Amino acid sequence: MTADHLTPEALHRLVEPHRVHRRIYTDPEIFELEQTRVFAASWSYVAHESEIPAPGDFTTTKVGGRPVVVTRDGDGAVHALLNRCSHRGALFTIESSGCAKRFTCPYHGWSFANDGRLVSLPFPQNHPVQDGDRSQFDLGRLAVAEYRGFVFATLHPDPEPLEEWLGPATEPFDHIVDRHPGGRLRVLPSPQQLEFDGNWKLAWDNAADGLHATFAHRSYNVLGSDADIDTVLARDPGRTPMVAKALGHGHMVVDQRPGIPDGPWSTMRAVPFREPLEEELVASGAGGDLDLATGSMVNLSLFPNLIFVGNQLLVVEPIAVDRTRLSAHLVLAPDAPAEIDLLRLRVDEDFISFGTPDDLDMFERVQQGLAIPEMEWIDVSRGLRDGPDVPAADGVVTGPITSEAPQRGYLARYRDLLTTEVITRVR
């Protein structure tokens, strides 16, 4: 029996086209439902191919709170396995990444191939599996699919094809990948890990919010003006030709390129050791590559857990209804001149130093404000004065960056997922 306040009808009422109820940010019971319906039952980003380049390589992550190991088997195929021994339930690995043909559970010695098959168990002679189907004790598998080297996984019983799920998001996705020479990306092993005391949707609300830059990131823009640099966030949001789009399926993009005619590099203050690296590139005739040192200026968010910002993959991991982890993985361009990656490493630290702290403070302020029960609703109506969000033929809603159309787009998808009862399934 579902409690009255958690029926699909009751949940549906929490997300209106122009406002959302505070409970989706504050209710632990809704948070529990989200872990299955929004995260486990959707495609989630779990790894990039460069993190598991060789047979046997593995890396770990979470999908809807479930510990997951992403492996590459001896034939090169990628698997997403639940990190749970099929015997008594122990995590069979506690490494964050590594290389292993087999995983042997340290508790009772059950051993699994890196494609999830049960290989052996000690003292098998008195275990009923000797007479039965061994595959019933394989590790739990998620469905996996890859796009341009990015691995996604889901526990949905009948997931839609990944490219359909991406839909119009493939265009900005391709742009982000293709700007790297040879289409090659390399994700570094140790992400910056930040946590805040707030709901995961606060990060999502922020990802395609073109207006907050003027206010929340004033300190970033002050550093820019001190250095005579017109930072990308300092543009007048009411006049800039930058656009914000709801791409369907909850995906969003802010395309800043129309607002920066001189290219991304022109918006960057000097990072440490910039000059020698920049001079070397210019002297070797590769000065045009400098735009590669900073982000694409196409901030793409793939609902529910992957945000491309700068040269980072920002992975959003809900920990509790009021606690979220952001893992910022820096992407390098291994086929670009070496100076590009040396610059990327320092550019990577710029916004996390002078921009992200201000965002984190806003997230926590909102969470604290939403604790007030008498004020129930959160406004997301900006842009609707110009008329309702009307998708173009490709399903995309485009607005100026002062429009909250992207947030409305992800919230509509969120409502669809939250109100759909789904039986998640391992393979």
Build a one-symbol-per-residue string for 304-343: x at contacts with another protein by CB under 8 A, - elsewhere: ---------------------x--xxx-------xx-xx-
- Between the alpha carbon of residue 199 and those of residues 34, 126, 216, the distances in Å are 12, 49, 18
Query: How far is the C-alpha of 338 from the C-alpha of 61, rounded, in Å?
Result: 30
Q: Which of 10, 99, 188, 211 binds another protein (CB under 8 A)?
A: 188
| SS3 call for 381 | coil
Near another protein by CB under 8 A, which window of 15-23, 128-136, 195-203, 293-301?
195-203
Query: How far is the C-alpha of 162 from the C-alpha of 167, rounded, in Å?
Result: 9
Distance between start and end Cα atoms, the chain: 27
Q: Which of 40, 403, 39 is nearest to 253 (CA)?
A: 403
The verdict on 192 binding another protein (CB under 8 A) reads yes
What distance lies between CA 21 and its chain's CA centroid?
24
Containing H/E element for 152? strand 150-154
Q: Which of 191, 241, 287, 391 binds another protein (CB under 8 A)?
A: 191
Query: How far is the C-alpha of 81 from the C-alpha of 426, rounded, in Å?
Result: 9
Q: Which of 307, 306, 46, 39 is nearest to 151 (CA)?
A: 46
Task: Characterize 187-221 residue by residue with b for buried, 16 or more Cβ atoms within 10 angstroms of its Cβ, and e for exposed.
Answer: bbeebbebebebbbbbbbbbbbbbbebbebbeebb
Q: Which of 171, 230, 280, 416 binds another protein (CB under 8 A)?
A: 280
The verdict on 272 binding another protein (CB under 8 A) reads yes
Q: Which of 216, 315, 321, 396 binds another protein (CB under 8 A)?
A: 216
Q: Which of 175, 179, 346, 425 binds another protein (CB under 8 A)?
A: 346
Q: Which of 222, 371, 375, 392 binds another protein (CB under 8 A)?
A: 222
Pick the closer one to another protein by CB: 205 or 389.
205
- State in angstroms the smallest separation of the CB of 337 from another protein: 10
- State in angstroms the smallest separation of the CB of 97 from another protein: 12
Q: Which of 135, 219, 225, 381 binds another protein (CB under 8 A)?
A: 219
Pick the closer one to another protein by CB: 175 or 346.
346
The 8-class DSSP code of residue 36 comes to I
Q: Which of 360, 380, 396, 397 binds another protein (CB under 8 A)?
A: 360
Binding site for another protein (CB under 8 A): 188-197, 216, 218-219, 222-223, 226, 269-273, 275-277, 280, 325, 328-330, 338-339, 341-342, 345-346, 348-349, 352-354, 356-362, 364
